[in-house]
Amino acid sequence: MAQNRKISYGYQIVGGVVTVNKDEESIVQGIYQMYADGLSYLSIATELTNQGIRYMPSKPEWNKNMIARMLQNKNYLGNEKYPCIIPEILYQQAQASMKTYTPTESSDIKKLKNKLVCDICGQHLKRRIKASGSERWYCPSSPSHISLKVTDGSIIKDISNLQKQFSYGQLNQVNCSSVLSIETIQLQNEIDALLTQTELQVEKIKETIMKLAALQYDLCANEYAMEDAKIQALGRRQKRIDAELLDQLIADIRINKNQITKAVMKSGRIFMKGENHG
């Protein structure tokens, strides 16, 4: 017996022509209806298996991949070869709910997800989609390691709070007084002037701060100088996460059970939400 169906579920070949298999047709329609009613792939598969319905004579079990494929099978809309089984409106309804079942990660989350680790065991956090359609982050070692409520939104909020703490003045200024040069003073003045403008030129500010940092780094050979300068640049961007700069600065973003989020910088320094860096 063939392991795979030669033709999509819901159809049969009679005399070389594809026709509707009436028994299977009602199952296909039932699947679309259950999905439109909010059931997940898995619960639909379980339902069909429990009802003793077979995908193939040799396959008594349904899995969520079969359901997913059927919900995306355009042949059910009807075409030259296949008669219509699913009305356009029901098909579109399924496509629309599919979007809510597989929410895509925001670009910020995409850029930073490799940094997200469990504060207890150091494992990288994993993301899953719940049957309700919302996402959850969890520690693969143990569900007790982090709070159950870690979502994309809560992570972004925590990182944004961390970023706010990187604001100017909360860090020790890079102290290069002994080796101040005309050039560093000019750059510092330039930064100050840029910051007083009503329309902040963020990229320009960033660039100037980097230039100053590079200079100070050379002058002081201070291992934190470059990092501090970047952190200060971050602090000025209060509203939005700068995933790119965070990525350059941070080695790990550690999340624990109480959702106290810590940023472990590449230099080894640690910043925590709700605490000033000492």
Residue whose Cβ sits closest to Zn ion: 118
CB of 146 to Zn ion, least distance (A): 7
CB 272 within 8 A of CB 259: no
Residue from 104, 167, 121 nearest 113 by CA = 104
Backbone angles phi, psi at 250, to 5 degrees: -100, 135
CB of 139 to Zn ion, least distance (A): 3
Nearer to Zn ion, 13 or 121 (CB): 121
Nearer to Zn ion, 145 or 206 (CB): 145
Who's near 206: CB < 8 A, 6+ residues apart? 233, 245
CB of 73 to Zn ion, least distance (A): 40
3-class secondary structure, 11: strand
CB 67 within 8 A of CB 53: no
Nearer to Zn ion, 177 or 258 (CB): 258
Nearer to Zn ion, 12 or 147 (CB): 147
CB of 136 to Zn ion, least distance (A): 14
As to burial, measured by CB atoms within 10 angstroms (0-12 exposed, 13-18 middle, 19+ buried), residue 170 is: middle
As to burial, measured by CB atoms within 10 angstroms (0-12 exposed, 13-18 middle, 19+ buried), residue 30 is: middle
CB of 151 to Zn ion, least distance (A): 17
CB of 219 to Zn ion, least distance (A): 42
CB 272 within 8 A of CB 255: no
DSSP code, position 77: G
Nearer to Zn ion, 110 or 124 (CB): 124
Nearer to Zn ion, 146 or 209 (CB): 146
- Binding positions for Zn ion, rule: CB under 5 A: 118, 120-121, 123, 139, 141, 145
